[in-house]
Structure 1
Amino acid sequence: MTAAARIRDTAIELFGREGFGVGLRAIAEEAGVSLGLIRHHFGSKEGLRRACDDHAMGHLQELQAEQVGAGEKTATLLDQLAAIEDYRPFVRYFLQVLRSGDGPASLLIDRLTASTLEYLEAGVAKGMFKPSIDPPARARFLVLMKLGAMVLQHALAGDADDAYDRYIDVAALPGLELYTQGLLTDDTLLDGYLRQREGSSEETAARHERDPS
């Protein structure tokens, strides 16, 4: 592993475990490098964070591609990540980004949604998943639902080391059941919502024609 990769992986581990208040000096000590070497490779703490973001997303997309290529059916990619020991630092890192509540959190959600959309659409093409009425909306909903559940479980566990094991224990069975078998026995609610949405769209269009301003 190169010095730059060791620094990046150490930063992902420390940021995920302790948050983004961790300084470059602590990262340098943990990685066994000089502070100057971090600045040489990444320029600043912000540059290091961008490298961490790109690396974590890259791993996410690699796992997605492997699943689609193998035709493997799975509830969501984030479930897989949380269940695999090697990927847990990335899950912790993602959750810290979300908890920071700043611009990178919105960017992370957008990137996860775009990546999940590609994953789902590839799965639809291979017959792994059912088509969606609104593919982008479905992808974003899955990301928000999964991230929200993981953040909540993490908070309830008090940042315990086994928070992700607890999450899997709680979510795996009901999640797979819902994704595989569904919940509602008929289309009444969905059809009613679609009729309402269509009516609202038509009313908005008619109002705009009457008053374009």
Structure 2
Amino acid sequence: MTSKLDQIEQILAQTDLQQQTHAEKIASFEAFLDRFAEATERRLAANDRFAAETDKRLAALESFTEKMAMQQQAHEQAHAEAIARIDARLDRFAEETERRLAANDRVAAETERRVADLEIALKNFTEQTDRRLAGLETSMDNLSRQVDNTARTVDAVGLTLENSIRQADRDRAQINRIWEYLMRQTPNGDSPTS
């Protein structure tokens, strides 16, 4: 469960790094694009936020069922192993068994605390994403129907991302045309920023 969350955080960190790199490239034109920089930055920032939010929603949906199954399996396996160890050594190691039971109690309490924290985090996440994932918490019976809806959403997101990429290409072409115009307007072919 923790490794999955780490992977999500790494994806988010990589997305943030890409956003920062993109913003730095745009910032290099601010000296001579005062009339166009704000509109371009708003579009690119909106596209990046939409893409990042979409990635988080899809990643959370894809990993939700897997995390729940793995968590339940790990919980059952941990308890089964603890009971087996206690049964095997009970007659010869009474004191050791008591110590392990105490340790198991602490582990169980920590596990319950972590599960409670995870439930709170999942609840907050669903509220922050326009409550589109709230149906997943109500019942596992409607999961297959929600997956179908998500497939349609993925198609729409793909189309939106394609449109965003085309818009970014048009913005870059506009910037290149402005740069070429400024180069033609600058005496002796000097850089307009010099």
Same topology, TM > 0.5: no
Highest RCO, 1 vs 2 (Cα 8 Å, sep ≥ 6): 2
> What is the TM-score with the length of structure 1 in the denominator?
0.24
Q: TM-score, normalised by structure 2?
A: 0.26
